[in-house]
Amino acid sequence: MRFPLVLALFVWAFGCNKNAPAPSGPSAPTGDVRVAPGFGEVARSGQAGGGVSDGRCAGHFPSAPQHRLTLEQNQLELRVEVDAPGTALWISSGHNHFCNEPGDANVHVGRGAWSAGEYEIRVGTSRAGSSMPYTLRVVEAR
């Protein structure tokens, strides 16, 4: 009979206490992005690299996209950035693919206008088997 009471107190004290302070520092954002005009800037993070090198884009990418960017409306002056040197960026929508060459500089993809829809984003590296953290930013230029 004591075990359930002790377990309940442990869960309350360490997992369910509504008055517990919030964790300090920002948590790393991950995942998909859905935006509409006026959104400003959104950031997501992850690990660049993977085992896929299929000839469409120079670099080594994961087999599945790390992010999906959904534009609810046509977007003028949208910019996608990756802040890790040596990364490669692969953005696809349907049969359309945009790639950059992996290099030493950070990746900045500026496009005049993006059509509404879904874009798959993969962040790769120049060397097979390598991996590095990155931050992806989607910025609405003004």
Enclosing H/E stretch for 42? strand 41-48
In a domain, 10, yes or no: no
In a domain, 21, yes or no: no
Mean pLDDT confidence for 115-141: 88
| Domain hosting residue 136, numbered range | 29-140
In a domain, 43, yes or no: yes
Mean pLDDT confidence for 96-123: 79
**C-alpha distance from residue 68 to each of 6, 50, 90 (Å):** 44, 17, 12
In a domain, 84, yes or no: yes
In a domain, 70, yes or no: yes
Mean pLDDT confidence for 37-46: 89
Residue 122 to residue 119: CA distance in whole angstroms: 10
Q: Across the chain, what does the average pLDDT equal?
A: 74
pLDDT value at position 3? 29
pTM score > 0.85 for this model? Answer: no
In a domain, 110, yes or no: yes
In a domain, 22, yes or no: no
DSSP state of 52: B
**Count of the separate structural domains present in the chain:** 1
- In 3D, which of 113, 99, 114, 105 has the Cα closest to residue 86? 105
